[in-house]
Structure formats: C-alpha cells, structure tokens
Amino acid sequence: MPRSPSTLLSVTIAVCTVLVAGCQATSRSLSGAPAIDEQTDPLERLTAGNERFAKDASVHPHLSAAQRHETAVSGQHPFAAILACSDSRVPIEDLFDVGVGDVFVVRVAGNVCADDEAGSIEYAVEHLKTPLVIVLGHEQCGAVTAAVRKAEEHGSIATLLARLAPAADKARGNYPPRSGAALIHEAVRINTWCSMEALISHSAIVRERMKSGTARVVGGVYDIDTGRVSWMGEHPDQEQVVARAESHDAHPAPPSAPAVTTDGGVHGDK
C-alpha cells in the first residue's frame, strides 16, 4: 500500500534526526574532551593543554576561520607569553594545545633573555596585558649542550653561547660528579632560572607588573620524549632579584672617565 506524503515526510525527519544525533555523538567521542574553560587560571590552562598533548588527546582549539577573523578584527589578547628555545622539537602551540591568539611566543636558541627578548615580553605584559610569563627550557637542548661542552664556535653563535656560559659553569660547579646527559639536564634547569633572573633584572616593566600582581613569571622544562612540561615555579630568589635590580636602577654606576692619551687627547678622537 503506497504511503501518504505526510508519512514519508515524518520518516524522513526521523531519519535525519538520528543521523544528526549520531554525528554529534561521533564528534564528541573523537574530541574526547569537554569545551575549554577560558576563565581558568592561565597556568592551569597550559597545564591541562600539555596533559592532553602528552596523552595524544589534543583538541586543537581556536584554529577555525572564525577565530582567525576574530583576532584580525579585535586584535590579540594572549593569556600567556612564552620565552622558549628555537628547537624544532619544541612546538609551543601544539605542546600546550592552544591556538590562534592564545599565546605570545618569543623563541631563541637556548631560551636566553637579552634586550630583544625582554622587549618582546614587555610588549606582551604592558600593551597586551598578558598575565603570565613562562620561561621554558627543554631537555637535550643543543645550545645548552654546546655551552656545557665548551664548543668552539664563531660569529654570532659564539655570542649566543657566551650568554649560556654562566649556567653551564654553575652546573659544573654545583654538580661536579655529574657528566654527560645528567650534567646537561641540570644545566637546562639552571639556564631556565638564569633567563628568568635576566628578564626580571633587566625589565622594570615586568617587575612593576609582578609587584602589582597583574603578571607573574614561571619557569618550566619540556621533555621532548614524554611531551610533558615540568613546572619549576617562580624564581626561588625572586624577591632578592627584584630588590637588587631596583637598587641598581636607583643607584646606577657612574660613567667611566674616557681614557686620556699621552698627548692630552682622548682615545677615539679623530
């Protein structure tokens, strides 16, 4: 017996409803994670994202065309600024499972902090109002390894390694029995502390944000094998670092007198 048009319509609607529900269920099972709460503490967001990445359960948020358009129209509002190494095995947005506009990333070999890096971080905390700064080292860092082994390099690489030398020297002094991978592991951690100290010491803007409670600086080390970040917390001597930096700013060293030649002139005169 032929079915009436109304019956066919009812069957069609029912089938579509089942298909849509099935697609939604499949989508939820594939993602395997609830929606991300963007009001969560910034460090907790990074920790949760890294946990997803390490478990191979990333949800890859904020990568849609709509998100790109939103940041193009409304600007960027990153919840964290991250100073990290250039190493290709340290994919920052991926290892924290974040997307477009989420984190402000500054990368340089050895995650050292000099004027350019400090200036970039200052832009994030001062102009973008970013509340969290992460200094992220990583295991098996090639730059730190070269510094520990006192590799002979030339050109700009030598300049870079000179910035890493204090951390390498301190690691050798603090852990004389250790060598090889164990020594490099310690040097990576010490270098992360050194970069945090350099940032706080050199940037009055960062210090002001820290004192007002609108920003904090936290260290961490990424394991390129396990995919996990081990948090080191704030600098253990943070208060002393701030005090020394502000004392230096308040009482800068007097400029040195120019060297005088035997004929009464000044070196450098033409």
Residue 265: per-residue pLDDT:
43
Residue 1: per-residue pLDDT:
52
**How does DSSP classify residue 252?**
P
Q: What angle do CA 193, 195, 200 make, to 5 degrees?
A: 95
Structural domain spans, the chain: 41-246
Residue 250: per-residue pLDDT:
75
User: Looking at domain 41-246, which CATH architecture does it have?
Assistant: 3-Layer(aba) Sandwich (3.40)
Radius of gyration of the CA atoms of the chain, in A: 26
Distance CA 251, CA 254 (A): 9
Contact 186, 146 (CB under 8 A): no
Tens-level pLDDT at each residue, the chain (270 residues): 555 555 444 544 443 443 434 433 333 333 344 566 677 899 999 999 999 999 999 999 999 999 999 999 999 999 999 999 999 999 999 999 999 999 999 999 999 999 999 999 999 999 999 999 999 999 999 999 999 999 999 999 999 999 999 999 999 999 888 889 999 999 999 999 999 999 999 999 999 999 999 999 999 999 999 999 999 999 999 999 999 999 988 766 554 444 444 444 444 443
The rounded Cα 141 to chain-centroid distance in angstroms is 15
Contacts of 227 (CB under 8 A, 6+ apart): 50, 53, 54, 95
Distance CA 28, CA 149 (A): 50
The amino acid at 10: S
The model's pTM: 0.80
Residue 12: per-residue pLDDT:
43
Contact 89, 76 (CB under 8 A): no
